[in-house]
Amino acid sequence: MSIGQTLVKTDIIEVMLERFGQNQIRISWHPKAMVSKVSLFRASEPHFDESSAHLIAVVTQGGHWTFQDPQPAARGYYFVKFSEDFIVTVADRMLPLQGALNFRDMGGYSAADGRRVKWGKLFRSAELSQLTASDILYLQQLGIDWICDLRTSEEIALQPSPSIGRERNENLSFMPSASPDLMSAMTEISESMLADMNRHMVSNTALTAIIMKRLLAGGGAPALFHCAAGKDRTGFVSAAVLLAVGVPRETVLYDYALTNHFTDSFKEKMAAAGGGAHAPFMNKLSPSLTQALMEARPAYLQASFDEIDTRYGSFEQYWEEGLCLTSRDRERLQSMLLI
């Protein structure tokens, strides 16, 4: 059974990477009839250099190849070479970490002007307090320059993040109402609050603008966004960045819903921790409300898109009028994060 997969679509072909137990990887491509030979390479960097990349296989029959990960403890990028000028890059979207859930790479998505989001530049995750020593060694190879922690100071005090390397770890509390004390004091709780929460995050233009400016100042250096579960606050911020570089809304909603791959793991983690920092709040909920809160339903994030359209008319107007950023800023961000 597949424990993680990545699909990269081009106008010509689709390439899928699937990871199975015991570090087994399968790379497949469709339609397979269009090519007579496919060369598969691996490298530790997301830039293809045939002289230094490791050749895994040359496939002349069939549309897939299965192999053991040659370096399971290290981040790898795979290059599927169909011809001299047609190479598709693919990697694990869900990083195989032991102590952090929902850690994902947002690379590979189609974006503005036929370009794609670069692999290894934008990451998103749940909280990091339980990273193992091997996780930290793995993450150090990513070269993360800036970690944007979207949690409240109270959440951070209860579950502090370890240092990974030399990264800047900045707390930009994106939703103060996520404080465990404030949530435990809530008396009216409903499924509609999840969509309302996303609508309200549209108003947080000052912090959203700061995040975009940090990315611009970073010059395209790898960045990580995270909150408690990597779903709501991280979901909105990640969506804003992906939309800024021209990723279509339907793709952004797809990326948001990938959090659902970890729903059962989140439940197990919360049960083991007695509910964690938000236990007083979670204990109030019915099973159906708990499920609604744990899931990343596209309708939640869609509510923020609808709010942007209602208030500003378009994402472009939100960028310029809401965030007070320029079209030149957006072009610069795209040049940093797209290939």
User: Residue 66 has what DSSP assignment?
Assistant: E
Phi-psi group of 125: left, alpha or beta (phi > 0 → left; psi -120 to 50 → alpha; rest → beta): beta
Mean pLDDT of 269-273: 70
Percent of the chain residues topping a pLDDT of 90: 78
Residues 204 and 300 both lie in one domain: yes
Q: Which of 91, 120, 139 is the last residue of a domain?
A: 91
Instruction: Tokens 């950023």: give the residue.
Output: 325
Mean pLDDT of 186-208: 86
Q: Which domain holds residue 207?
A: 104-337
d(CA 193, CA 206): 22
Residue (of 164, 74, 167, 177) closest to 128 by Cα position:
164
Residues 108 and 205 both lie in one domain: yes
Residues 160 and 216 both lie in one domain: yes
> Does pTM surpass 0.75?
yes
DSSP string of 74-114? S--EEEEEEETTEEEEEE-SB---SS-SS-EE-TT-B-GGG
Residues 63 and 117 both lie in one domain: no
Helices (H), 118-204: 133-140, 153-158, 180-184, 192-201
- What confidence tens digit (pLDDT) does each residue in 41-50 have? 999 999 999 9
pLDDT, mean over the chain: 91
Question: In the predicted model, is pLDDT for residue 276 greater than 70?
Answer: no
d(CA 272, CA 262): 15
Q: Can you give the pLDDT at residue 1?
A: 47
- The answer to whether residues 298 and 257 touch, using CB atoms and an 8 Å cutoff, is yes
- The answer to whether residues 222 and 143 touch, using CB atoms and an 8 Å cutoff, is yes
- The answer to whether residues 97 and 138 touch, using CB atoms and an 8 Å cutoff, is yes
Number of domains comprising the chain: 2
Question: In the predicted model, is pLDDT for residue 286 greater than 60?
Answer: yes
Question: In the predicted model, is pLDDT for residue 38 greater than 60?
Answer: yes
Residue 99 in any domain: the answer is no
Mean pLDDT of 186-194: 70
Q: Residue 9's domain is classified under what CATH number?
A: 2.60.40.10
Residues 205 and 113 both lie in one domain: yes
User: What's the pLDDT band for 265 if we cut at 50, 70, 90?
Assistant: confident
Residue 314 in any domain: the answer is yes
Of the two residues 266 and 220, the one the predictor is more confident about is 220
Residue (of 104, 103, 121, 123) closest to 47 by Cα position:
121
Residues 81 and 188 both lie in one domain: no
Q: Which of 91, 119, 140 is the last residue of a domain?
A: 91
Q: Residue 208's domain is classified under what CATH number?
A: 3.90.190.10
Q: Which of 91, 112, 144 is the last residue of a domain?
A: 91
User: Residue 161 has what DSSP assignment?
Assistant: P
